[in-house]
Amino acid sequence: MMQKIETKISSNRSFGLVFFTVFLIISIWPLMYENPIRVWSLLISIIFLILGLTNSKILTPLNQLWFKFGMLLGSIISPIVMLVIFFIVITPIGLFMKIMNKDLLNKKYDKKKITYWIKYNKPTDTMKNQF
Protein backbone atom coordinates (compact mmCIF):
# COMPACT_ATOMS: atom_id res chain seq x y z
CA MET A 1 0.00 0.00 0.00
CA MET A 2 3.07 2.23 0.05
CA GLN A 3 3.23 4.72 -2.79
CA LYS A 4 6.41 5.13 -4.77
CA ILE A 5 7.22 8.84 -4.80
CA GLU A 6 9.81 9.96 -7.28
CA THR A 7 12.38 12.30 -5.79
CA LYS A 8 14.60 14.36 -8.02
CA ILE A 9 18.34 14.06 -7.43
CA SER A 10 20.25 17.32 -7.01
CA SER A 11 22.56 18.66 -9.68
CA ASN A 12 26.25 17.84 -9.72
CA ARG A 13 26.97 21.54 -9.27
CA SER A 14 25.07 21.87 -5.99
CA PHE A 15 26.45 18.50 -4.80
CA GLY A 16 30.00 19.66 -5.46
CA LEU A 17 29.48 23.01 -3.76
CA VAL A 18 27.92 21.44 -0.68
CA PHE A 19 30.79 19.00 -0.28
CA PHE A 20 33.28 21.82 -0.92
CA THR A 21 31.71 23.67 2.02
CA VAL A 22 31.70 20.59 4.26
CA PHE A 23 35.36 19.73 3.63
CA LEU A 24 36.36 23.39 3.93
CA ILE A 25 34.76 23.54 7.38
CA ILE A 26 36.51 20.30 8.34
CA SER A 27 39.84 21.74 7.18
CA ILE A 28 39.61 25.03 9.11
CA TRP A 29 37.90 23.64 12.24
CA PRO A 30 41.23 23.01 14.07
CA LEU A 31 41.98 26.75 13.88
CA MET A 32 39.40 27.26 16.64
CA TYR A 33 41.64 25.25 18.96
CA GLU A 34 44.88 26.82 17.69
CA ASN A 35 45.85 23.69 15.72
CA PRO A 36 47.09 23.64 12.12
CA ILE A 37 44.75 23.41 9.14
CA ARG A 38 43.95 19.92 7.87
CA VAL A 39 45.63 20.02 4.46
CA TRP A 40 44.06 16.79 3.17
CA SER A 41 40.56 18.19 3.75
CA LEU A 42 41.51 21.50 2.15
CA LEU A 43 42.71 19.67 -0.99
CA ILE A 44 39.50 17.62 -1.18
CA SER A 45 37.42 20.77 -0.78
CA ILE A 46 39.29 22.48 -3.63
CA ILE A 47 38.73 19.42 -5.84
CA PHE A 48 35.00 19.48 -5.06
CA LEU A 49 34.90 23.23 -5.78
CA ILE A 50 36.53 22.81 -9.19
CA LEU A 51 34.36 19.82 -10.11
CA GLY A 52 31.24 21.56 -8.81
CA LEU A 53 31.83 24.79 -10.69
CA THR A 54 32.54 22.96 -13.95
CA ASN A 55 29.47 20.74 -13.34
CA SER A 56 31.61 17.71 -14.01
CA LYS A 57 30.19 14.27 -14.83
CA ILE A 58 32.77 12.79 -12.46
CA LEU A 59 30.49 13.77 -9.58
CA THR A 60 27.48 11.84 -10.95
CA PRO A 61 28.24 8.46 -9.28
CA LEU A 62 29.12 10.16 -5.99
CA ASN A 63 25.94 12.24 -6.21
CA GLN A 64 23.81 9.14 -6.84
CA LEU A 65 25.48 7.26 -4.00
CA TRP A 66 24.89 10.18 -1.64
CA PHE A 67 21.26 10.39 -2.77
CA LYS A 68 20.70 6.67 -2.09
CA PHE A 69 22.34 7.01 1.31
CA GLY A 70 19.99 9.90 2.14
CA MET A 71 16.96 7.89 1.07
CA LEU A 72 18.12 4.96 3.23
CA LEU A 73 18.60 7.24 6.24
CA GLY A 74 15.18 8.79 5.64
CA SER A 75 13.48 5.41 5.57
CA ILE A 76 15.13 4.48 8.88
CA ILE A 77 15.03 7.77 10.81
CA SER A 78 11.51 8.93 9.84
CA PRO A 79 9.63 6.03 11.51
CA ILE A 80 11.81 6.36 14.60
CA VAL A 81 11.03 10.08 14.89
CA MET A 82 7.31 9.43 14.40
CA LEU A 83 7.42 6.71 17.07
CA VAL A 84 9.13 9.07 19.53
CA ILE A 85 6.60 11.83 18.82
CA PHE A 86 3.73 9.36 19.30
CA PHE A 87 4.99 8.10 22.65
CA ILE A 88 6.04 11.53 23.97
CA VAL A 89 2.99 13.54 22.80
CA ILE A 90 0.00 11.40 21.85
CA THR A 91 0.24 8.63 24.46
CA PRO A 92 0.43 10.94 27.52
CA ILE A 93 -2.55 12.95 26.23
CA GLY A 94 -4.55 9.74 25.76
CA LEU A 95 -3.63 8.49 29.23
CA PHE A 96 -4.53 11.86 30.75
CA MET A 97 -7.92 11.78 29.01
CA LYS A 98 -8.53 8.23 30.25
CA ILE A 99 -7.62 9.22 33.82
CA MET A 100 -9.91 12.27 33.62
CA ASN A 101 -12.64 9.97 32.23
CA LYS A 102 -13.11 12.12 29.12
CA ASP A 103 -14.66 10.69 25.94
CA LEU A 104 -14.20 13.40 23.32
CA LEU A 105 -15.28 11.16 20.45
CA ASN A 106 -18.36 9.79 22.25
CA LYS A 107 -17.23 6.20 21.80
CA LYS A 108 -18.77 4.84 25.01
CA TYR A 109 -21.64 2.42 24.59
CA ASP A 110 -24.92 3.51 26.16
CA LYS A 111 -27.69 0.88 26.44
CA LYS A 112 -30.32 3.55 27.11
CA LYS A 113 -29.78 5.35 23.81
CA ILE A 114 -31.93 4.33 20.84
CA THR A 115 -29.61 5.94 18.31
CA TYR A 116 -26.29 7.73 18.29
CA TRP A 117 -27.41 10.05 15.52
CA ILE A 118 -26.78 13.71 16.39
CA LYS A 119 -29.62 15.95 15.22
CA TYR A 120 -28.48 19.02 13.31
CA ASN A 121 -30.90 21.88 14.06
CA LYS A 122 -29.18 24.71 12.20
CA PRO A 123 -31.17 25.72 9.10
CA THR A 124 -29.44 25.22 5.78
CA ASP A 125 -28.69 28.28 3.69
CA THR A 126 -29.50 28.73 0.06
CA MET A 127 -26.86 28.39 -2.60
CA LYS A 128 -27.30 32.05 -3.62
CA ASN A 129 -24.39 34.40 -2.94
CA GLN A 130 -21.95 31.71 -1.91
CA PHE A 131 -18.93 33.94 -2.06
> What pLDDT, in 10s, does the model give residues 9-21?
889 999 999 999 9
> What pLDDT, in 10s, does the model give residues 16-40?
999 999 999 999 999 999 999 999 9
> What pLDDT, in 10s, does the model give residues 40-79?
999 999 999 999 999 889 999 999 999 999 999 999 999 9
Distances (CA, A) of 112 to 24, 25, 85, 128: 73, 71, 39, 42
pLDDT at 2 (0 to 100): 60
For the whole model, what pTM was predicted? 0.64
- Whether 61 and 6 have beta carbons less than 8 Å apart is answered as no
Distances (CA, A) of 50 to 11, 35, 37, 44, 86: 15, 27, 20, 10, 45
- Whether 2 and 23 have beta carbons less than 8 Å apart is answered as no
